[in-house]
Every structure is written in structure tokens, then in C-alpha cells.
Amino acid sequence: MSQTDGAQFASVDEVVEALAAHGYIADTRLATTVFLVTRLDKPLLIEGPAGVGKTELAKALALISGRRLLRLQCYEGQDETKALYEWDYGKQLLYTQILREKIGQVVADAPDLESAVDRIGAQESVFFSERFLASRPLLESIRSADPTVLLIDEVDRADEALEAVLLETLAEFQVSVPEVGTFTTKTPPYVVLTSNNTRDLSAALKRRCLHLFLDYPSAERELAIVRSKNTGLPDALAAQLVEIVRGLRELELRKAPSISETIDWARTLAVLGVTELTATVLSDTASVVVKYDKDVRKAIGAMPRLVDPNATVPEPGHVAGHGHGHGHGHGEHQHDEPDEVDGRAVRAAKDAEGRHDEAYYRTRDSAQPPVPVTPKPKVTADRGARSFGAGLGRKRAL
Ligand SMILES: Nc1ncnc2c1ncn2[C@@H]1O[C@H](COP(=O)(O)OP(=O)(O)O)[C@@H](O)[C@H]1O
Ligand SMILES: [Mg+2]
């Protein structure tokens, strides 16, 4: 135990209160995990869908413990220098320029190039010293004089090689810089790793960490979160809205709405001065919570039922007819993918049957022979994949 920073919580309840005081609404399971992080020198791995409060929890932990937050945002292809340290090349260069004269003196009476190089070499340690070391978050958290919270965000995006480096560092809380020496920590940082599960993390990493699966919150907690954000939406409507969002999460959407979307929706409805949640007003604003075209149509189709489960509203045919099941095999928590911005697919989807009647297509220019009404392309589940794969065809055509 290494509580030199005085942020000692006596109980799980105290953690719940402290988090709430900083705007983070936690249940006991979540708070218990946080409590353990402050008591055991073990990193915490939080997994779960996007937008459920993983990153926010690390920030809240920094606030309640009064520690400085250091954040390592992971991405594909990232190498360890961005996590550990780099040499501050610019600074080295600046120093050599300013010190040109002095360096000149060192080599002034060297008889030949080789001995000049040797003399400079003997001074190398000056330039590869702590002064020129640019700490990145991992090393910084270990070197830091004051205790820190180290957030390693979206670790699933990092390559396995970096994951191995993280593992090594987290095991010992020390970093070796060959030219300088080994840094060890005075107060181990509280480490929080988050993952959106885009790939499996190594068993070794999981073994080393306390583990928390953070899913969408209970209705009660989600309502508390919405309330805590002072969205301006009356409580009764907020409660109803939370239920509707929960209903949307049960549809097989490509990207289920997260807590931040519930908050945004509440704010939007408040700004519009809505006093009653009707299927119409919710449908009109649905794009605040569902961001993919197909999802929007699915959401709108389900809206009457979500607003009033007993209503017998005829399902709009084409909404129920297709689009269902899309997203399988994509995984739940995809990041933006090119197929969704395929303009043709988007336009074709908008032009779904029923948007205009046949007469519209025929009478646009009655002087012309009637335009054959070609059947609209059906937007089927694999359409996105096909248009994405169409890149191949396009290449061949060039
Ligand atoms: N328990 C919570 N208490 C308060 N706000 C929350 C909570 N969980 C999520 N949020 C809100 O949801 C947003 C998204 O959370 P974030 O931590 O960014 O999600 P992710 O899990 O993707 O890291 C936050 O900015 C915050 O406003
Ligand atoms: Mg996040």
C-alpha cells in the first residue's frame, strides 16, 4: 500500500459520494472496483461498448484522488517511443548550435577526423542525459514527483507489440533508459486501461489487472446521469426518454446509442421545448442518437412501439422489411467504416420505395417518353459490404 497522497477512502460508499461530487454516477460494483484500485497496486482494465463512461471514470478517479491525469491514447501502428520516451531532438540540436564554439574547442586540436569523432563521442552522455529526455505518459507516470493516474485509453487499438511493452512496464513500474539508467516509481500510479473490445487482449494483460466490464447502465443510473447533467428536460420526460433509449439498444442497431447520446437527446428535446414525448418528435430528432442511416430508419420504425408499447401502429413496411440483421459480423463497436459513407448506398437507401409514387418518376417530364420505372435497388444486409468491396471492381475498371 502506498498512500502517500492522502486520498484514502474509508469505504466504498465514500467512493460513490466522491465520484458523485465530481459528476460521475457510479453503482456499488463500479465504486468497489475503484476502491480496490486505490488500495491494491493493480491496474484496472475496463472493457465495454463505446460511450458507457470508461474514459470518464479514469478522469473522475484523478479528480477524487487529487492526482494528475496522464493519458496515453492508443492507436494502430503506435510505437513504444510514444508511450515511454523519446530524445528531444530539437532541443539537442538547439544546444549544439548555441554551443558550437565550445564544441569547436573540444575538437580544435584533434589531429584527424577519427580522433575528433572520438572526442565528441566521449561527450555523448551530455546530450543523452535526462535533460534531453522527453518523457511520454508511461515514463512520466513513473518519474513524476507527485502521484498520478495513468489512463491508457483504447488499448485494444494498440498493436500487440505495444501491449507487451505496457505489460512489462506495469509489472514492475520501472523503465530503463540505457543511456541514463532505470527509473522506478515513488508512488505507483493508479493505472486505468480501457478497451472497446475491437480485439481480444492478451490473457497476460487480463491476468495482471483488476477487471471491470462496464455495460450500459441500469435505467435508474442512466436517469441519474442525465439529471446530473442539467439538460433542462423535466424529470418525467427524462425517465421516459431513458426507457426509449433502452428500447433502441435492444434493436439490432449497428451502433447502439450510448449514454452520451441519451444526454444529447435530452438536451435537444429541452431546447425544442418539448412537453410530451411523441413518436413524431422523437423520430424527428432520432438522428441525435443513431448515426447510421439504416439505424435511423430502424429506430423511426420502432418509435411508435417504444413510445407506447400497447399502440397498434402498422409497421412501415420497408423499415421492417430490410436492414434487419445488418451489422452481424461487423461486431458491435465498430469505428467508422468506409462503407457507411458510400454515397450511392446512402442515396439508394433514401430512395427506398414509397418515397415518391410511380407517377412522380413518369410525369417529371411528360414530353419525354415515359421513363421506365426501374425497380429500386433493394438495400439488403450485405449491400454495404458489396459496395465497400466494389473498390476492387473500380480498380479493375481503371
Ligand atoms: N457514470 C457516469 N456519470 C456521469 N456521466 C457519465 C457516466 N458515464 C458516462 N457518462 C457520460 O458519457 C460520456 C461518454 O463517456 P466516455 O467515458 O467518453 O465513454 P467511453 O466508455 O467510450 O470512454 C461522458 O462524457 C459523460 O458525459
Ligand atoms: Mg473512451
pLDDT tens for 296-344 read 999 999 999 999 877 655 555 444 434 344 434 444 444 444 443 444 4
What is residue 353's predicted lDDT score, i.e. its pLDDT?
39
Domain ranges of the chain: 12-82+144-213, 86-132, 219-321, 338-397
Q: Which of 29, 47, 56, 59 to mutate to test the pocket of ligand 1 (most atoms within 8 A of CB)?
A: 56
Q: How confident is the model at residue 172 (pLDDT cuts 50, 70, 90)?
A: confident
What is residue 146's predicted lDDT score, i.e. its pLDDT?
94
**Ligand 1 site, CB within 6 A:** 23-26, 50-56, 194, 225, 228, 259-260, 263
Beta bridge pairs of residue 273: none
Beta bridge pairs of residue 45: 193, 211
pLDDT tens for 59-102 read 999 999 999 999 999 999 998 999 999 999 999 999 999 999 98
* pLDDT of residue 4 exceeding 60: no
The single-letter DSSP state of residue 292 is S
pLDDT tens for 332-389 read 444 444 443 444 444 444 444 343 444 434 444 444 444 444 444 444 444 333 333 3
pLDDT tens for 279-299 read 999 999 999 999 999 999 999
Q: Is the dihedral of CA 17, 18, 24, 30 positive or negative?
A: negative
What is residue 334's predicted lDDT score, i.e. its pLDDT?
43
Q: How confident is the model at residue 124 (pLDDT cuts 50, 70, 90)?
A: confident
How close is the Cα of 51 to the center of ligand 2, in Å?
6
What is residue 314's predicted lDDT score, i.e. its pLDDT?
54
Q: Does domain 12-82+144-213 have CATH number 2.40.50.40?
A: no
Query: By alpha-carbon position, which residue is closest to atom 7 of ligand 1?
Result: 53
What is residue 308's predicted lDDT score, i.e. its pLDDT?
84
Question: What is the pTM for the complete model shown?
Answer: 0.75
